[in-house]
């Protein structure tokens, strides 16, 4: 199942964000004419299957990757893809959390192919810019040892007039630390899309952010009949009543958005 949406600028060039249907987890693929970038990689090898829809050989086709945090539903797919491929760089703030559980990540660490990333960092590829909005500094990673969702990277992707706010599994307390009026002044409204935090859970729902940015589309990456009860029905309801069109991977399958 594949849902294709004409997004923001529609300038005729082949720029896409694909919210991949990897079951209960997150995996986003950014495709440009010259680069492929992964943001999270899902809980298992379903990422490989999804990528095979785009590439003859998906395993050596991404330039770099972002891991929002060290929960398996976001990073585990990288352990296969990163082994078969040679990514230039992966950002992963919580690599210490994996300890010896992932030889692949340890190997990447030894090869200096893993960087931590914080507020102010920017990544450029093919005219696309990704700005890191959270965490603010290494200290933020130590604030909530018992819940890695608090470490989740928050990022803003920009290409021309198109912007996507990608929240990982950020918690509402995290989102409350970001100055959204400031972010609003930096972007060209309307904000085209928000990747909703934490699979639509209530603990990732920060209403003032939505009220400020008024996104057109709210994408929830979530597994069908998942045992967590994601997404929270009240969150879906509040997103819809705020005027945001909710798109769910458990309903639509992979969601392709043309920038
Ligand atoms: Zn998650």
Domains and CATH numbers, the chain: 2-258 (3.60.15.10)
Residue 119 is predicted with a pLDDT of 97
pLDDT along the chain (259 residues), means of 10: 54 84 96 92 90 75 90 91 84 80 80 92 93 96 86 96 96 97 93 97 97 96 94 97 96 93
Q: How far is CA 172 from CA 117, 168, 176, 201, 204, in A?
A: 20, 12, 6, 10, 5
- Rounded distance from Cα 184 to ligand 1 centre (Å): 26
Residue 72 is predicted with a pLDDT of 92
- Rounded distance from Cα 158 to ligand 1 centre (Å): 23
Residue 2 is predicted with a pLDDT of 56
- Rounded distance from Cα 22 to ligand 1 centre (Å): 11
- Rounded distance from Cα 153 to ligand 1 centre (Å): 12
Residue 55 is predicted with a pLDDT of 77
- Rounded distance from Cα 28 to ligand 1 centre (Å): 13
**Ligand 1 ion: nearby residues, β-carbon < 5 Å:** 73, 169
- Rounded distance from Cα 232 to ligand 1 centre (Å): 14
- Rounded distance from Cα 237 to ligand 1 centre (Å): 21
- Rounded distance from Cα 94 to ligand 1 centre (Å): 14
Residue 259 is predicted with a pLDDT of 87
In degrees and rounded to multiples of 5, residue 130 shows phi and psi of -115, 125
Residue 120 is predicted with a pLDDT of 95
């Amino acid at each position: 199942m594949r849902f294709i949406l004409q997004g923001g600028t529609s300038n005729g060039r082949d720029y896409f964000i694909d919210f991949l249907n990897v079951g209960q987890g997150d995996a986003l693929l950014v495709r440009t004419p010259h680069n492929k970038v992964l943001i999270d990689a899902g809980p298992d090898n379903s990422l490989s299957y999804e990528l095979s829809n785009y590439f003859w050989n998906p395993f050596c086709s991404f330039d770099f990757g972002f891991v929002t945090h060290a929960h398996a539903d976001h990073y585990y797919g990288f352990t296969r893809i990163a082994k078969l491929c040679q990514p230039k760089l992966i950002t992963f703030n919580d690599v210490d959390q994996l300890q010896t559980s992932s030889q692949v990540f340890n190997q990447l660490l030894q090869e200096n192919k893993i960087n931590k990333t914080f507020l102010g960092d920017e990544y450029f590829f093919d005219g696309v810019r990704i700005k890191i909005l959270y965490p603010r500094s290494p200290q933020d990673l130590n604030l909530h040892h018992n819940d890695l969702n608090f470490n989740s990277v928050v990022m803003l992707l920009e290409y021309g007039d198109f912007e996507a706010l990608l929240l990982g599994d950020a918690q509402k307390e995290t989102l409350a630390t970001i100055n959204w009026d400031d972010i609003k002044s930096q972007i060209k409204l309307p904000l085209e899309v928000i990747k909703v935090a934490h699979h639509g859970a209530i603990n990732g729902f920060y209403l003032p952010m939505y009220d400020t940015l008024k996104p057109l589309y709210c994408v929830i990456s979530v597994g069908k009949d998942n045992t967590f009860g994601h997404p929270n029905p009240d969150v879906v309801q509040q997103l819809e009543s705020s005027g945001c069109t909710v798109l769910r991977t458990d309903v639509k399958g992979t969601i392709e958005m043309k920038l």
